[in-house]
Amino acid sequence: MSTGAMLFMALSWTFVLGLTFWSFSKILKTQRHFDPDGTGPASPPVPPSAPPER
Amino acid sequence: MAQPTAAPNPNEAVPAATAGGNPNEAWGSRIGLILAMAGNAVGLGNFLRFPGQAAQNGGGSFMIPYFIAFLLLGIPLMWIEWGIGRNGGRYRKGHIPGMFAAIWRHPAAKYLGVVGLVIPLVVLSYYTILMSWTLAFTWFSITGDYWGRTTQEAMSAYLTSYQLIGDDTTHSNWVPFLFYFISLGATIFVLSKGISGGIEKLAKFGMPILFLFAVILAVRVLMLGPGENGVSPIEGFQFIYSPDLSRLGDATVWLAAAGQIFFTLSVGMGTLQTYASYLSTKDDIALSGIATAATNETVEVVLGGSIAIPAAVAFFGVSGAMAVAQSGSFNIGFVSMPIVFQGIPGGQIFGAMWFALLFFAGITSSVAMATPIVAFFREEFGVRRETVAWTVGAVAFTFGILTIFWLQYGMLDEWDYWAGEFGLAVMAFIEVVLFMWIFKPENAWRSLHQGADIRIPTVFKFVMTYVTPLYLGVILVWWAITKAIPILTLEGNKSAGGDIAPGNEIYVHVARLLIVAIIVFFLLMIRMAWKRNGYDDRKGFAVVEDTPLGTPVKEGGAR
């Protein structure tokens, strides 16, 4: 494989992989409570639970 | 996790206090949304069309315009479609006629949106057939059904036998119909379960499997030794990435690259917009849009480029692999790859993985295709989701059966050209003009940044306003002159599928007439919907949410 092809391949892969990792790292860092309908509470609701039966 | 807001009757008075996007459906999680969007974009084109296009357009000389098109066409269109979709959701519109009418208060806007209903139905009808081939070949790989067919000719005969064309009678006539029935049934079943209950669950399950299988196959291909020609798979990369600057002056290479970017990101279909309509203006679309585009490109460039071409080069040599690729994208996947798998240990397993990977890529796209139609009938006519989904399935099945019978007469190629190629470019051009020119760049820019986690570089405002529409306009005019008009007039007795045998022109005409009939049907439905719901084109729709469009965007993107 020629040096030019190797360089071009490395550039291409770095670009697409870099963009993917950058966007997903940003998403994971800035992840908040997802509120699709805009009406939910500021923090995720606590799942309902019942006290264990004795 | 927020629960979907119930709105059983979409025609009831719009509640003034609700503050979200289209409340008929909702996404369960952001990762689910991005996986579903990426699943919509990642399709058969990533693994079959991309290597085929790269091979036909000079490998390295194709990749330079490909990345330029990604930056100037792909990413801007991705943001525009997310923006149009979410803006439509503010008015509880998950379908293109409604979204266009929300942007442009003109009676013509809703009718322009007919393309966003016709294209998904037509493409769904034949795409599920292609998907059914992958499902069938997964089964044939597991059972070793095509084992022993180790030449291009023998494998081609096997494929055409399955397609009910050619003289080979390996398969019974009912076999392709069975796999088609299963494939379409699975698509409609997922669709009938809704956004979070069906599509999102499928994406969360199917996309990781797709990634896993693709990585395993790419690694296996790289481990292949030199074939009979003494060529290693690395030579495939040499071909794809060797920058040949001499072909950069060739307009067809640039157009092919732009076309590939266009198709691979699933823009112009109407599906990304419907998915985005279930978001509110408090949700990010700028970062999610770029994440979706980047994921698709990783699958295409890194994984899609590392499987079919390197494997074919190792087995058939560079010139042999190029000959196969240039004979059609499906020949790489359904003829070359099965021969490769027969020549390696554990080939049945790797063959099954290859076709299962294609099936998952296909079904995550096909479920998206009918969502705009489901949204239209739910929101405008109050029909239950399950009822619309299974009705659309029945219509697609009817067209699909016809397509299978008329495959040899070029019906699939005809529908693919007019809906899956030319139609997408038309739709994308309309929406760029509406969003960036009629809606105005300032409003579009503000809309994209509502709830944004990132600030889009300002240069993209210029690109989206001027460069992207110009780029699309050039593509459309070029295609119209070089392909659409000659195909339409059957110049040289050639249709979209190639030469037409004397007397077979009728099949081409019927295929076209069916598209016209679908257009007329949806135009009438749009008219009925507007009349039924008393919409005033000049006044627009009532806003379902209370976030004003003029809310300033904070620098740095934080909301």
Residues of chain B with Cβ-Cβ distance to A20 below 8 Å are 291, 294-295, 297-298
Measure CB to CB from residue B30 to each of A9, A27, A40 and give the nearest one. Answer: A27
pLDDT of residue B52: 83
**Which residues in chain A are contacts of B295 at CB distance < 8 A?**
20
**What confidence score (pLDDT) does residue B556 get?**
33
Contact A38 B240 (CB under 8 A): no
Q: Say if residue B310's pLDDT is above 50.
A: yes
Give the mutation candidate from A37, A39, A43, A46 for the B interface (greatest B CB count, under 10 A). Answer: A37
Q: Which of residues 301-340 of B touch A (CB under 8 A)?
A: 301-302
* Closest CA–CA distance from residue A4 to any residue of chain B (Å): 6
pLDDT tens digits along B115-134: 999 999 999 999 999 999 99
In chain A, residues with a C-beta closer than 8 Å to the C-beta of B301 are 12-13, 16
Whether B235 sits inside 8 A of A12 (CB atoms) is: no
User: Domain coordinates of chain A in residue numbers?
Assistant: 1-30
Does the pLDDT of residue B498 top 80, yes or no?
A: no
Q: Is B492 helix (H, G, I), strand (E, B) or coil?
A: helix
- Locate B21 and state its tokens: 């996007």
Categorize the per-residue pLDDT at B554 as very low, low, confident or very high, splitting at 50, 70 and 90: very low
CA distance B406 to chain A (A): 40
* Per-residue model confidence as pLDDT tens digits over B258-300: 888 888 898 989 999 999 998 888 888 999 999 999 999 999 9
For residue B6, pLDDT beyond 50:
no
Residue B337, pLDDT score:
92
The amino acid sitting at B213 is F
Tokens of B261: 């970017």
CB contact under 8 A, B288 and A40: no
Give yes or no for A25 touching B (CB within 8 A): no
| Interface contact A5-B60, CB threshold 8 A | yes
The model's pLDDT over B435-484, given as tens digits with 9 standing for 90+, comes to 999 999 999 999 999 888 899 999 999 999 999 999 999 988 988 888 88
What's the CA gap between B414 and B507, in Å, rounded?
Answer: 10
| Set of chain A residues whose Cβ sits within 8 Å of the Cβ of B298 | 16-17, 20
With CA atoms as reference, the chain A residue closest to B29 would be A34
- Asked if A20 lies within 8 A of B297 by C-beta distance, the reply is yes
Checking if the pLDDT of B10 tops 50, the result is no
Which of A1, A17, A26 comes nearest B298 by C-beta? A17
The structural domains of chain B, ordered by start, are 31-533 (1.20.1740)
Q: How high is the pLDDT of residue A50? A: 62
Averaged confidence pLDDT in chain B? 86
Is the confidence at residue B527, as pLDDT, over 60?
Answer: yes
Asked if the model's pLDDT at residue B64 lies above 50, the reply is yes
Share of residues in chain B with pLDDT > 70 (%): 92
First to last CA, chain B: 20
The string of pLDDT tens digits covering residues B342-392 is 989 999 999 999 999 999 999 999 999 999 999 999 999 999 999 999 999
pLDDT band at A39 (very low <50, low <70, confident <90, very high): very low
Please tell me which residue, B83 or B244, carries the higher pLDDT value.
Answer: B83
| Distances in whole angstroms, Cα of residue B406 to Cα of each of B15, B214, B398, B399 | 50, 33, 12, 10
pLDDT for B555 equals 35
Residue of A nearest to B295 (CA): A20
- pLDDT cut 90: percent of chain B above it: 51
Number of CB atoms found within 10 A of residue B223's CB:
9
Which of 205-264 (B) contact A at CB < 8 A?
Answer: 234-235, 237-238, 240-243
DSSP state of B422: I
Can you tell me the distance from the alpha carbon of B287 to that of A20, in angstroms, rounded to the nearest whole number? 11
Residue B22, pLDDT > 70, answer no
Tallying the residues shown for chain B, one arrives at 559
How many beta-carbon contacts under 8 Å exist across A and B?
114
Q: Which of A5, A17, A39 sits opposite B302 (nearest CB)?
A: A17
Which pLDDT score, from 0 to 100, does residue B9 have? 34
Distance CA(B105)–CA(B98), nearest Å, equals 11
Is residue A53 over pLDDT 70? Answer: no
pTM > 0.95: yes or no: no
Tens of pLDDT, residues A2-32: 888 899 899 999 999 999 999 989 888 875 5
B306/B216 Cα distance (integer angstroms): 11
pLDDT at B250: 81
pLDDT at B152: 87
For A46, nearest residue in chain B (alpha carbons) = B1
The pLDDT of residue B486 is 86
**pLDDT number for residue B493:** 77
| DSSP summary character for residue B384 | -
CA dihedral B221, B223, B225, B226 (to 10 degrees): 50
Helix (H) or strand (E) holding B143, with range, is helix B115-143
Report which of residues A43 and B321 the model is more confident about: B321
**Helical (H) or strand (E) element with A9:** helix A3-29
| Contact at CB, A20 and B237, closer than 8 angstroms | no
Question: Which pLDDT value is given to residue B119?
Answer: 95
Question: Does the distance separating the beta carbons of A39 and B291 come in below 8 Å?
Answer: no
A38 contact residues in B (CB cutoff 8 A): 18-21, 280-282, 545, 547
- Using DSSP's 3-state secondary structure scheme, residue B208 falls into helix
Q: Which of B98-112, B218-232, B270-284 has the lowest mean pLDDT?
A: B218-232
ipTM: 0.84
Judged against a pLDDT cut of 50, whether residue B406 lies above it is answered with: yes
Question: How many angstroms from the chain centroid is the CA of residue B515?
Answer: 19
pLDDT for the residue B340: 92
Distance CA B530, CA B524 (A): 10
